[in-house]
């Protein structure tokens, strides 16, 4: 097997990932596992913290984002054991019982931590909280959750009428609402449902298209009174329930598996099996998009683990064709669009991705950053206001690119580098640790450099 050379150069806070593709190419082989699902990890820590009794979490993602959630909820009074993948114990303190911390709560880079936590804090009557995040998070829109919370009676202050962190929250007794969200966002939906847990009455969220439903599934498992109306994409939670600690088993993250699905599909001669991946239908848009492009992906050993569907995913190289995606599939693959753009670069024809303006307010402006960075490698990518147009089939030539401190950009560029001639240096590769701390090790493994 021919191998790419993957070199990591680290200083205290920064990492360069240097990928040197041999002139005769590279093929990827192996059976691998990806870390735990980020969305499910956050929710297990949060629900564990506000439930009564103990929650045990197996397979937690040890990335920086769930670490931010754990440190915030420890500061709010929940007892959370040292984080590990075997079994994390969360001793919850019951709904409405979080303590007022003596310092600012810092969500780091994590939008999920900040937005979901806001819903929980806003309903803690009589307590005062301040929340912030890193420079990326402090520039991301919070009005999408602050406005509906204010409609429920929350008191929240921040820059630009409460739309940017740092935010200050004076907890209140909230009232239930029916919120018709203008965007399909699981963070918005989850924030309001969490606030609704101790609001007076029944809180309903309706979204324009279905976003990931991990909150609904887990709230139900913890004992909340939840009902779902699939016809209208609505979820209702009752304000009277109590939550009880559970055993949660976190499946592998399909958003992390997506890097290997695309790598296996585009690097000639490759075959990879990614074990134990969550295939919740609200997350499998990437499988559908790659199937539309002609990728050879099969689901093996399909099963349900702790309420979430799981499978092993086998991918083999095949020549991909372009596709057009937009509409309801977008929320089901929103985090995979950067790596889907890499797939499109190696596909025949012009791929158009639209209705994805949300990408502009993720950890970076992923539309602008992916277009700029892929074009540096020689790709033909045009920015659209709400997506990307990518003409595939150009040969990529290794050069210096930058993650722009965005984890999914760092990893997407590393996969693009495997099919770029010569040497590619990805600056800011340390960002991958937000959701995938072992990404480089697995990259070296599939390139045949380690066992």
Q: Quick check: 295 and 267 in contact, CB under 8 A?
A: no
Element (H, E) at 308: strand 308-316
Between 312 and 406, name the residue whose CB sits nearer to ligand S3P: 406
Bond prior to 166 in cis (omega within 30° of 0): yes
Q: Quick check: 83 and 59 in contact, CB under 8 A?
A: no
Q: Is the dihedral of CA 360, 366, 370, 372 positive or negative?
A: positive
List the catalytic residue out of 213, 335, 386, 406. Answer: 335
Report the nearest approach of ligand S3P to the CB of residue 283 (Å): 10
SS3 state at 148: helix
Between 358 and 449, name the residue whose CB sits nearer to ligand S3P: 358
Between 273 and 369, name the residue whose CB sits nearer to ligand S3P: 369
Burial of 238 (0-12, 13-18, 19+ CB in 10 A): middle
List interacting residues with ligand S3P (CB under 6 A): 39, 112, 185-187, 190, 211-212, 334-335, 358
Which is nearest to 312 in space by CA: 369, 260, 373, 386? Answer: 260
Report the nearest approach of ligand S3P to the CB of residue 282 (Å): 10
By Cβ distance, which residue is nearest to ligand S3P? 39
Between 21 and 362, name the residue whose CB sits nearer to ligand S3P: 362
Report the nearest approach of ligand S3P to the CB of residue 277 (Å): 16
Report the nearest approach of ligand S3P to the CB of residue 173 (Å): 26
Q: For residue 229, indicate whether it is catalytic.
A: no
d(CA 337, CA 263): 14
Report the nearest approach of ligand S3P to the CB of residue 188 (Å): 6
Between 147 and 380, name the residue whose CB sits nearer to ligand S3P: 147
CA angle 228, 231, 236 (to 5 degrees): 25
| β pairing state of 105-106 and 202-206 | unpaired
Known catalytic residues?
Answer: 335
């Amino acid at each position: 097997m021919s191998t790419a050379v993957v070199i990591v150069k680290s200083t205290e806070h920064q990492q360069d990932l240097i990928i040197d593709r041999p002139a005769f190419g590279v093929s990827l082989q192996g059976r691998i596992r990806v870390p735990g699902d980020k969305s499910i990890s956050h929710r297990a820590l949060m629900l564990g913290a506000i439930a009564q009794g103990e929650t045990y979490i197996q397979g937690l993602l040890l990335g920086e984002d769930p670490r931010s959630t754990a440190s915030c909820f420890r500061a709010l009074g929940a007892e959370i054991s040292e984080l590990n993948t075997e079994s994390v114990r969360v001793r919850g303190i019951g709904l409405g019982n979080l303590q007022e911390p003596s310092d600012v709560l810092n969500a780091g880079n994590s939008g999920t931590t900040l937005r979901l936590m806001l819903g929980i804090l806003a309903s803690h009557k009589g307590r005062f909280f301040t929340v912030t995040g890193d420079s990326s998070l402090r520039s991301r829109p919070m009005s999408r959750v602050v406005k509906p919370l204010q409609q429920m009676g929350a008191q929240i202050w921040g820059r630009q009428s409460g739309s940017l962190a740092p935010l200050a929250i004076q907890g209140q007794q909230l009232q239930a609402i029916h919120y018709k969200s203008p965007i399909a966002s699981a963070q918005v939906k989850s924030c309001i449902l969490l606030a609704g847990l101790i609001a007076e009455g029944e809180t309903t969220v309706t979204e324009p298209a279905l976003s990931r439903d991990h909150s609904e599934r887990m709230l139900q498992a913890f004992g909340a009174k939840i009902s779902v109306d699939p016809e209208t994409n609505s979820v209702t939670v009752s304000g009277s329930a109590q939550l009880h600690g559970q055993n949660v088993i976190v499946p592998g993250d399909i958003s992390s598996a997506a890097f290997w699905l695309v790598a296996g599909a585009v690097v000639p001669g490759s075959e990879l099996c990614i074990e134990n991946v969550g295939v919740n239908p609200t997350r499998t848009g990437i499988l559908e998009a790659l199937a539309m492009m002609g990728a050879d992906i099969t689901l093996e050993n399909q099963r349900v683990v702790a309420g979430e569907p799981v499978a092993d995913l086998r991918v083999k190289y095949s020549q991909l064709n372009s596709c057009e995606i937009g509409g309801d599939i977008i929320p089901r693959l929103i985090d995979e669009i950067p790596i889907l753009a890499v797939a499109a670069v190696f596909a025949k024809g012009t791929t158009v991705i639209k209705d994805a303006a949300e990408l502009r307010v993720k950890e970076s402006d992923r539309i602008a950053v992916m277009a700029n960075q892929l074009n540096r490698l020689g790709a033909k990518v045009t920015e659209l206001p709400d997506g990307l147009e990518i003409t595939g089939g150009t040969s990529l030539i290794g050069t210096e690119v930058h993650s722009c401190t965005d984890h999914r950009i760092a990893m997407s560029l590393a996969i693009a580098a495997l099919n770029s001639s010569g040497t590619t240096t990805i600056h800011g590769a340390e960002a991958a640790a937000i959701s995938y701390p072992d990404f480089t090790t697995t990259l070296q493994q599939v390139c045949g450099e380690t066992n």
